[in-house]
Amino acid sequence: MIGQLKGILLEKQPPQLILDVNGVGYEIDASMNTFYHLPEVGQAITLFTHFVVREDAHLLYGFHAKEERALFRTLLKVNGVGPKLALTILSSIDPTEFVRCVVNNDTASLVRLPGVGKKTAERLIIEMRDKVANWQPVESMSVNELPNSSRVSRNQDSQDAVSALIALGYKPQEASRVVSKVDDGSLSSEEIIRRSLREMVS
């Protein structure tokens, strides 16, 4: 089991990043909540990881905080929830807000998340309610507190945001529409994604 990696951030293209650990580049899928905490490319970071072994692939999932990884692992124990859906859920809603929805039986908010229907929402509540009763909130970051991202080009940032939303399970047309709505021309791709996700689940 690979539980933690510390290295240099080589690339970041939501929802995947590449981390250089002593010359070995690890491809890691990360939630958008973790992406909001990433430094600039070339800087050192530490990620708490979850290793998944499948017949056709070995996959690494990374999180900036142990609490978010714990929530991810709890999600995996829910019937019908795999790593991809668990990561999508943690990317589409703040972890603390997700726990609030579970504790308060808020199925209406949960079904707005991509890939979560009414039955899945009900299972999340039934199977997770007791397990998240003592949840410790992960420190959040407002848009104004996000790390400054290098500006490649406004068009590229928008395209990256659309690609990330599609990877998270949103339809291409829906992703393009909401990105166009929230992008005011001054946002990084991470900021565009964050505002787009808020728009789609609100």
The pLDDT of residue 149 is 40
Q: In this structure, what CATH number is given to the domain that contains residue 91?
A: 1.10.150.20
Same domain? 43 vs 8: yes
Same domain? 80 vs 46: no
Comparing C-alpha atoms, which of 155, 164, 178 is closest to residue 32? 164
Q: In this structure, what CATH number is given to the domain that contains residue 153?
A: 1.10.8.10
Same domain? 159 vs 120: no
Asked whether residue 102 is domain-assigned, the answer is: yes
The pLDDT of residue 92 is 85
The pLDDT of residue 146 is 39
- Please provide the DSSP assignment of 18-52 as one string: EEEETTEEEEEEE-HHHHTT---TTSEEEEEEEEE
pTM of the predicted protein model = 0.75
Asked whether residue 143 is domain-assigned, the answer is: no
Same domain? 76 vs 44: no
Same domain? 46 vs 78: no
The pLDDT of residue 144 is 35
pLDDT < 70: residue spans in the chain:
136-155, 201-202
Asked whether residue 175 is domain-assigned, the answer is: yes
Same domain? 171 vs 159: yes
- Kindly list the distances between the CA atom of residue 78 and the CA atoms of 83, 95, 100, 105, in Å, as whole numbers in the listed order: 11, 16, 17, 16
The pLDDT of residue 69 is 94
Q: What is the DSSP-derived secondary structure letter of residue 111?
A: T
Domain count, the chain: 3
Q: Write out the residue range of the structural domain in which residue 184 sits.
A: 149-201
Asked whether residue 142 is domain-assigned, the answer is: no
The pLDDT of residue 114 is 85
The pLDDT of residue 141 is 40
Asked whether residue 144 is domain-assigned, the answer is: no
